[in-house]
A and B are shown apart, each in its own frame.
Chain A
């Protein structure tokens, strides 16, 4: 059996598990929950086997490398470690409530990769990537990312449950107007060669908002709810846009094996050559944001029956970050050791390194706020969310948006 067939079976099992977990939430039948768990374990076992098979296949092709070195393989590994972590949590906290949130992520990620089916060729490694440190670096980093991913999901649930009411409609309208104004300012500035200035300014504004939420969020629940809506929109919007991308690329574009998908990201939506498509995409995002903001309270009433109490959610978030932080540290360190063995520089302020350090700073702030200041609750959930935004940027944004050592393909 070849690995792609096994990956497909695992994907289908995760789909079944996702449906089962959601029906478990809806019907509250323990039997369904047990079946959901068993299906998840089976999917996980098969995915593990598939990863090992792929590893063996690479040896049969005389390339012989760990299945962890391109976007395809790292996404597969990301879902694998997320499911592994979820299984551990299910065992430890004896609750299946999170399954309905984690399994969809695992399934969607795997489905997108499978639908894409484009760059799953086992391509040989460039010489610099031939190092055992690469294996440890990627392995440890991805476990860390998965832990932070779970922390993010739980924080999102926390923030929603902690909101009493969504607040006046003027909030979301102001938020959307701000988005539109910023977008047009950005458009005008980019046209005048002020692109960098715009992005720096936008970054400052966003950071100022984050800091405001963290420092005085407790008094401004409506703002936190708005933040929640943005985060959820971002997560869903990105997943859906990626899905459309893959479908579009598969249907209309020919992509050569081994060619990076990075160049084509969001080509079907936000960076499409046709202006109407771009316009519709952004309108859809704004619509989604409004919908999520408007319907959030319904989701809350629904969720409230199934999830553990708030203080336990807070504890799970902390636990996940306490697990993720040493892993992130280990990921940065193994990356540094690897760089030192390849180039004689353990730290070069390359964008990817810098962003992983920024992420590290954010979670260091989280841990100090908790240990030294004793902070708990919604502020911490906000920091955890900001941390995960930094993780996403480190993982995808740097590869896709910024250039760096990590995205190079040869020497010189």
Chain B
């Protein structure tokens, strides 16, 4: 019967062959390298006006059509990535069976025919006889840490051995790791989201505002399978994503580097927010002080410190701590007051009136004079309160003083207590970057394998060694032969050493 292949067979065979070629891989890598450059030359995701400043209308239109303004997310760029992945998968699968065959192949004694093909071989005549030659060979191989099997019959004995056979898996580990990174990225795109939340101090939110909606929800919603949890924005803003709990901003602040003279330089050293999580029944679950590089994660959603800003027309509250000198820290009395407001402080029987609040005050170390500076971007570089202190419930003012963040209650007060600046609370919001990425652990697994794979592939070497001991015309002839798939020069050195030791 004629074995005719159907169209499907031929077609699938062709597709397989196409995708299993390394040439395709190299071509795809070259194309990807070239087109990637475009997105680095043209700034990505800028405002349309900015592009029109830089390019003529015709070019803007052309680039728009080609997707050059958000190039790495265009269908054709993603298609190229998919092609590379398909190519990588097929290439790996195609070479997997031969590789496994090499790995599982039993060690076999060598024949004269295959001996010819081996790159390293040497014949040694040993006068001491076959028994002695065998003993010497066993000793030498053991000394070089080869575990061997012994075969042979009446005319010859062979010691067959190999090392580093699993290094042949190096390229597979590498390829699989890249696939994992790709799969992880897809998982992130389908089931994760990127969002932000500007949360004023003292406020709570149970939604975040999406930049990227999870693709899965979108698809299911479109198909009518399941309704997307996303709440579309009514006024053309960004859609909101419920997170299933409340996140609260307890406070936000910026620390600044302080120079040798004790004056804050205006260069931020740390941004931090204290966030709390409450469940929907308003029970507190946890809180955490987040910083840049140290986010809060809860239920798969991570909140990163990203920016901050002023609440429009937001009025802050001045928070101070008052403590009698030489009294324990527990006897500190917190004082909260608005700028301009007067408040009675029972523990010291004084009334404080906040005359002014300034975001950046500097006290001249020599004269003690206080100067105020303007700040940009609502920065509180060294918040300073001018305080008027009166006896009892506000009779005649006793004195005026400046309370600064950097002085932390340090300077000597005329009376028997210290006043420490805590914060100016409620005038700003913390800008949080919010992400959910269920694929990140797949990606990280890929990363770890990607660190290991190439090292095994480049520096591991599958070395094979045969020692054949024959009696030929009354002489004992030892033939050493070997091969290595990597680092031939290194193996040659080892091979020569072994052969030299046998010839001694």
B292 touches A351 (CB 8 A): no
CB of B20, distance to nearest CB on chain A (Å): 12
A355 touches B433 (CB 8 A): no
Of the listed stretches A95-103, A293-301, A365-373, chain B binds A365-373
B435 touches A345 (CB 8 A): yes
Residue in B33, B268, B435, B459 whose beta carbon sits within 8 Å of that of A126 in the complex: B268
Residue in A204, A355, A367 whose beta carbon sits within 8 Å of that of B40 in the complex: A355
B185 touches A347 (CB 8 A): yes
A343 touches B304 (CB 8 A): yes
Q: Is B444 an interface residue (CB 8 A)?
A: yes
A337 touches B447 (CB 8 A): yes
Q: Is A280 an interface residue (CB 8 A)?
A: no
B40 touches A330 (CB 8 A): no
CB of B86, distance to nearest CB on chain A (Å): 17
Query: With A196-B55, A315-B489, A349-B39 as given contacts, are A362 and B293 in contact (CB-CB < 8 Å)?
Result: no
CB contacts under 8 Å to B, within A96-127, are 124, 126-127
A326 touches B458 (CB 8 A): yes
**Closest residue of A by beta carbon distance from B177:** A329
Residues of chain B within 8 A (CB-CB) of A373 are 22
Query: With A126-B268, A200-B41, A337-B447 as given contacts, are A349 and B293 in contact (CB-CB < 8 Å)?
Result: no
Q: Is B408 an interface residue (CB 8 A)?
A: no
Q: Is A240 an interface residue (CB 8 A)?
A: no
Complex-state Cα separation, A322 to B29, whole angstroms: 18
Residues of chain A within 8 A (CB-CB) of B306 are 343, 411
Q: Is A178 an interface residue (CB 8 A)?
A: no
A345 touches B194 (CB 8 A): yes
A-B contact number at CB 8 A? 125
Mark interface residues in A172-206 (1 if CB within 8 Å of B CB, else 0).
00000000000000000000011011011001100
Q: Is A34 an interface residue (CB 8 A)?
A: no
Residues of chain B within 8 A (CB-CB) of A333 are 447, 450-451
A341 touches B293 (CB 8 A): yes
Complex-state Cα separation, A402 to B59, whole angstroms: 20
Residues of chain B within 8 A (CB-CB) of A362 are 33
A343 touches B433 (CB 8 A): yes
Interface size for chain B: under 10, 10 to 19, 20 to 34, or 35 or more residues? 35 or more
Mark interface residues in A325-347 (1 if CB within 8 Å of B CB, else 0).
11001100100111011111111
A130 touches B293 (CB 8 A): yes
Q: Is B455 an interface residue (CB 8 A)?
A: yes
Q: Is B25 an interface residue (CB 8 A)?
A: yes
Complex-state Cα separation, A207 to B38, whole angstroms: 13
Residues of chain B within 8 A (CB-CB) of A322 are 458-459
CB of A103, distance to nearest CB on chain B (Å): 26
Complex-state Cα separation, A114 to B218, whole angstroms: 58
Q: Is B149 an interface residue (CB 8 A)?
A: no
Q: Is A364 an interface residue (CB 8 A)?
A: yes
B433 touches A358 (CB 8 A): no
Q: Is B129 an interface residue (CB 8 A)?
A: no
**Closest residue of A by beta carbon distance from B171:** A371
B451 touches A329 (CB 8 A): yes
Complex-state Cα separation, A410 to B55, whole angstroms: 28
Residues of chain B within 8 A (CB-CB) of A365 are 26, 29-30
CB contacts under 8 Å to A, within B451-479, are 451, 454-455, 458-459
Query: With A357-B36, A402-B41, A411-B268 as given contacts, are A128 and B435 in contact (CB-CB < 8 Å)?
Result: no
Residues of chain A within 8 A (CB-CB) of B444 are 337
Residue in B257, B294, B307, B455 whose beta carbon sits within 8 Å of that of A412 in the complex: B307
Q: Is A398 an interface residue (CB 8 A)?
A: yes
Residue in B171, B269, B295 whose beta carbon sits within 8 Å of that of A344 in the complex: B295
Q: Is B37 an interface residue (CB 8 A)?
A: yes
Query: With A126-B268, A333-B447, A347-B185 as given contacts, are A354 and B40 in contact (CB-CB < 8 Å)?
Result: yes
Residues of chain B within 8 A (CB-CB) of A341 are 293-295
Residue in B25, B185, B194, B443 whose beta carbon sits within 8 Å of that of A368 in the complex: B25
Complex-state Cα separation, A322 to B302, whole angstroms: 37
CB of B327, distance to nearest CB on chain A (Å): 30
CB of B449, distance to nearest CB on chain A (Å): 11
Q: Is B215 an interface residue (CB 8 A)?
A: no
Q: Is B391 an interface residue (CB 8 A)?
A: no
Query: With A333-B451, A411-B268, A412-B377 as given contacts, are A346 and B459 in contact (CB-CB < 8 Å)?
Result: no
Mark B residues whose CB is within 8 Å of A.
Answer: 22, 25-26, 29-30, 32-34, 36-44, 54-56, 59, 72, 171, 185, 194, 257, 267-271, 291-295, 302, 304, 306-308, 377, 433-435, 437, 440, 443-444, 447, 450-451, 454-455, 458-459, 489
10 A-B pairs with the lowest CB-CB distances in the bound complex, closest first: A344-B435, A351-B40, A322-B458, A127-B292, A349-B72, A361-B33, A131-B293, A326-B454, A372-B22, A333-B447
Beyond A63-B257, A203-B37, A402-B40, list 13 extra A-B contacts (CB 8 Å). Answer: A127-B270, A128-B293, A193-B55, A194-B59, A200-B38, A354-B40, A354-B72, A361-B30, A365-B26, A365-B30, A369-B26, A411-B271, A411-B307
A-B contact list, 11 entries, CB within 8 Å: A193-B55, A194-B59, A196-B42, A196-B59, A204-B34, A344-B437, A355-B40, A365-B26, A368-B22, A411-B306, A411-B307
Mark A residues whose CB is within 8 Å of B.
Answer: 63, 124, 126-128, 130-131, 193-194, 196-197, 199-200, 203-204, 207, 211, 315, 322, 325-326, 329-330, 333, 336-338, 340-347, 349, 351, 354-355, 357-358, 361-362, 364-365, 367-369, 371-373, 398, 402-403, 410-412
